[in-house]
A and B are shown apart, each in its own frame.
Chain A
Amino acid sequence: DAGVIQSPRHEVTEMGQEVTLRCKPISGHNSLFWYRQTMMRGLELLIYFNNNVPIDDSGMPEDRFSAKMPNASFSTLKIQPSEPRDSAVYFCASIGYSGTYGKQFFGPGTRLTVL
């Protein structure tokens, strides 16, 4: 299995530009999480989906952020317009279950720099 795939791995953009981050979860996993990681705030949950439906988006910082999961094998996180404070590493994780408790499988992350 290829694991969780994220693209791009690195993105450098200018303030005001639209940014789209992509995630392909592990096949068969029904839940998908988007996180943001910074030194100051740590790893923050932005939104999560169950069976392609957004369940909790309370972590999405502003209306500039939006996420979609059109099918079980693809999700996007969009920032429009981007700001320098959005600079962070963005992770996608899909959930596999062994018994009752889920195990999050993380992608390698997208390092976003907004100038």
Chain B
Amino acid sequence: TQLLEQSPQFLSIQEGENLTVYCNSSSVFSSLQWYRQEPGEGPVLLVTVVTGGEVKKLKRLTFQFGDARKDSSLHITAAQPGDTGLYLCFSGNTPLVFGKGTRLSVIA
């Protein structure tokens, strides 16, 4: 059983659509991080969420940390082909683990 369950595993959408991906756990976290990984490269940090109920925005990306600090979501508005990649969540406390990710493909 994965400590961090990400869903969906794969997502293919048209440019301009909105989408939400999820990172869920039965454990409580002091913080969660979201990374994006493009093919052939290492993951790059997008955001760190630390407070239950916190919402952070990064241009068209909106990140939310659940009130109980057990889950998080990433919403992308008006997706663009440049958003294509593997989106990973990472635990902020031990055990230090990544979810298996959501592989997003945005088609022009």
Range of interface residues on chain A? Answer: 10 to 19
B residues less than 8 Å from A4 (CB atoms): 42
Cβ-defined contact, B42 with A106, below 8 A: yes
Residue of A nearest to B4 (CB): A42
- Of the residues B45, B50, B94, B100, contact of A104 by C-beta under 8 Å: B45
Does more than half of chain A's interface fall in helix, strand or loop, or is it mixed?
Answer: strand
How many residue pairs link A and B with beta carbons under 8 A? The number is 46
Chain B's interface size range is: 20 to 34
Scan A34-72; emit 1 where CB is below 8 A from any B CB, else 0. Answer: 010000011111001000000010000000000000000
Cross-chain contact B50 with A106 (CB below 8 angstroms):
no
Question: Can you list 14 A-B contacts with CB-CB less than 8 angstroms, sorted by A residue number?
Answer: A41-B100, A42-B99, A42-B100, A45-B97, A45-B98, A48-B96, A91-B42, A93-B42, A101-B31, A101-B50, A103-B48, A104-B33, A106-B42, A106-B43
B interface with A by C-beta (< 8 Å) = 31, 33, 35, 40-45, 48, 50, 88, 90, 92, 94, 96-101
Measured CB to CB, the residues of A under 8 A from B are: 4, 33, 35, 41-45, 48, 56, 91, 93, 101, 103-104, 106-109
